Structure 1
């Protein structure tokens, strides 16, 4: 039997093979939860069930397989997503449809397939939760992120609508808005730039804390929102962004404190 504050909780994490998703799956497991991951990459983690979020039949089959492994479903973490770079004119219709299909409609497909199980968990155990991974891009204008920002704005609005719709079901719905996180996806963007070191320094400088957000910090927030002890928290957008959304102060050089 697992032990820990979340022992017995059955959790499904999409996009859990790397980055924030993997850190989230690990954090849930460390606190005693039983975890299955949905991802296209099944080699990275033994907990993974393969799923293509752009295909409804694939998603439904994967969710049923995952619930079969877990025996129930208490928490769904909609973390999977893809990125896009450029201003509003940089991507053609096909790319807009592709990114929306994963980041927004993929979240819908997974939640739709999981809802009967989440409703059952809420009825039988008094608690069920959905946590969506959104982004600081949902409420802060970032350069060269038009398509990505549009999808994350949709995810934030969808989170609030879902929270209202599923109050009567006993299912809490929240989202996290990470700032620029130190993940494999961000590293691939840096590697593709002309000067990766300078680009990383620029990303760090725009964070009030002067550093990127860690995947583990985002995972901590996701687990907190999903925890049954957060039972009064629903319809919440939780920033995990080093102050980027709410603060307008320059980052201090490392080691510099406040003067007396």
Structure 2
């Protein structure tokens, strides 16, 4: 029993006046994220809400996004984060935001010789420009409060590791790492921190779709599994656990970092 009659029951449960009260790791935090309809974005949105956050989950896939409407703590909105007007409108709807999580991305398959200008432009627009637009729209609100937390989705396939047939994707994710470090350095003395998450191979609907699109899906799957040093792929939920940590005050002294979660793939 501690002073004031409060007994710590566990890391999240407290007994107050004889009643157990659950305190989430993200209680009271307002979080906005993109690409929440499936995969890592969806898992993170649910994990954030379960920890007590007020979550605005966005995506361009309205049908899939609606599946989150039943989750307490989540409100959904169809937003194309590559469109400046839609991003600015989204920012105006929020008086303040504690955490911005930029997840939207696209994986192009091929070397530089397989990458047409349209592929390059589409990938950079989706993977990098969208984050630039979101950061530029929401950062002023964070600066007003002298408090803010930005998380960007990067990848081990970037400046961290050269990966076969991931030319423009890896280039875009290296740019995300650079953007992350730049924001962290520019605003470190203004209460802002910025980190990026760098997964390896994550078992998501996007990955499964890319495997099925290959001429020989079975061989494509075997190729992905062959590079998994742990013998399995990462799950979206495992990445979401890391995102909860970065979104929480537990990581208050962490900024400008690449948080690698790849099962040792880069080794």
User: TM-score with structure 2 length normalisation?
Assistant: 0.85
Alignment pair present for 1:53 and 2:81:
yes
2:129 corresponds to which residue? 105
For structure 1, the residue ranges without an aligned partner over 5 or more in a row are: 248-260
Q: Deviations over 1:134-193 (max 9, x none)?
A: 001112111111011110011011111111011022111001100011011101111011
Provide the secondary structure at the position in 1 that maps to 2:112. coil
Q: Identify which of 188, 194, 205 aligns with 2:215.
A: 194
Q: Which residue of 1 aligns with 2:238?
A: 217
Deviation per CA, 1:112-131: give whole Å up to 9, x if none: 1101222234x3xxx42101
Q: Give the CA deviation at 1:194.
A: 2.6
CA distance in 1, matches of 2:246, 2:77: 24
What secondary structure sits across from 1:239 in the alignment? strand
CA distance in 1, matches of 2:208, 2:90: 29
**Residues 203-260 of structure 1: per-residue CA shift (max 9 Å, x gap):** 1220211111110111111111121221110011011100112x3xxxxxxxxxxxxx
Structure 1 runs, 4 residues or longer, greater than 3 Å off: none
Question: Which of 91, 100, 111 is residue 63 of structure 1 equivalent to?
Answer: 91
Please report the RMSD computed on the Cα atoms of aligned residues, expressed in angstroms: 1.6
Q: Are 1:93 and 2:117 matched, yes or no?
A: yes
Tell me the residue number matched to 1:154: 175
Q: What SS is found at the alignment partner of 2:157?
A: helix
Aligned partner of 2:196 among 175, 190, 205 = 175
Q: Which has the larger radius of gyration?
A: 2
Checking the alignment, whether the CA contact within 8 Å between 1:17 and 1:48 is kept in structure 2 is no
Return the alpha-carbon distance in structure 2 between the equivalents of residues 119 and 220 of structure 1. Answer: 27
Structure with greater strand percent: 2
The answer (yes or no) to whether the contact 2:26–2:247 under 8 Å persists in 1 is no
1:3 is displaced (CA, Å) by 4.2
